[in-house]
Amino acid sequence: MSVAEQIRSFVEQPVDQPPRPRKFTVEEYMTLIDSGFFHPDEKVELIEGELINKM
């Protein structure tokens, strides 16, 4: 399964299930950036596997 498919399966989890916390790899983070997942003005950093919104 590609990184994009793994991310998609995580993002598309059913709403009736509780969220599943997970750590992201640098490769997954870069795929999110390259695919335009984040808004261009959104400031997000990967810190110890967690996506952190910068204010």
For residues 26 and 48, the answer to whether their CB atoms sit within 8 Å is no
Give the residue-averaged pLDDT of 21-31.
90
pLDDT of residue 14: 67
Q: Global pTM?
A: 0.63
Mean pLDDT of the chain: 84
pLDDT of 29 above 90:
yes
Give the residue-averaged pLDDT of 14-42.
86
Nearest to 37 by CA among 3, 17, 49: 3
pLDDT band of 9, cuts 50, 70, 90: confident
